[in-house]
Amino acid sequence: MLTAPQHGVPLLFIEVDNCHETAEELAAKLEKYARFFRRKMKDTDGKERPMWRTRWTAPDDRYGDAPHPPVLLVFNHLGERNPQRTIPRLQELTRHLWQGDRQRGGRHLYDWRIPIVAVGLRNLREHGPAGAVFARFGRDHPQTLLEAIGNPRRDAADTREEEESRARQAEYKAQVQRAAQEQAAEKAAQREARRPTCTGCRAKFTDERWEATQATDWGTQKDSRPALCDACKERSVAPDQEQEQVVPAQKNGRWFSRRT
């Protein structure tokens, strides 16, 4: 068993075969791995979990996909058995343990499956874990170790879905913003259509003048020229003020001033 989270390998079980065992004997070992991975026990918080998760740290399961830890079969060709013939037979015998469920887009989910990967010791020594020499059961080409024990197609599909989701959210936000702008522009146009026009000079009222002619607060003096703009109102009020005169008047034998 190997854990190397600093290199992206959180948990990996390794089975080394010196090519003395048959495919059937190796399949029996993998069945034992499956039984071990299925064992459950209560964790320290009282919740039931797979036993292996209580002993080793591993990434959380993703929605709809909870694979078992991967098993790496390292073939050291010392015995009389040829790995090139053993591996195909072993794949058929253990298909129920590793075969994933195909999803739309060609990706697979490996819920409760064991990622089984095979590699020759000679290739491993020559290329190391970064070399594309790891053959995962069910895949048609060798990969690097991280690709072989992972699920690159699902990762790519999740990335696409996240990008598409962000694009949809951005488009929806833009649509809401455009609708708000259009609504605001429509309201502004309707308000502009109601804006009064001065009967004197035919100019549009300013916002301040329009507001003044509509004042209805208690105690506010009613506008004396509601149909005129400020400039025309001033010109119309000025002659009236010039015509006002103060003349003496008498009432009941007393004199007082009166404007005319």
Residue 105 has pLDDT above 80, yes or no: no
The values of phi and psi at residue 134, to 5°, are: -100, 125
CA 130 vs. chain centroid, Å, equals 31
Percent of the chain with pLDDT over 70: 89
Residue 246 has pLDDT above 80, yes or no: no
> Where residue 216 falls among pLDDT bands split at 50, 70, 90?
low
Residue 103 has pLDDT above 90, yes or no: no
pLDDT, average across residues 115-123: 96
* Extents of the domains making up the chain: 2-150, 151-207
CA 34 vs. chain centroid, Å, equals 35
Residue 242 has pLDDT above 60, yes or no: no
pLDDT, average across residues 196-213: 91
pLDDT, average across residues 77-103: 94
Look at residue 149 in the predicted model and tell me its pLDDT: 92
Look at residue 223 in the predicted model and tell me its pLDDT: 80
Residue 25 has pLDDT above 80, yes or no: yes
What are the pLDDT digits (tens) for 43-78? Answer: 888 999 999 999 888 877 777 788 899 999 999 999
Look at residue 237 in the predicted model and tell me its pLDDT: 75
Residue 220 has pLDDT above 90, yes or no: no
pLDDT, average across residues 205-231: 82
pLDDT, average across residues 107-124: 92
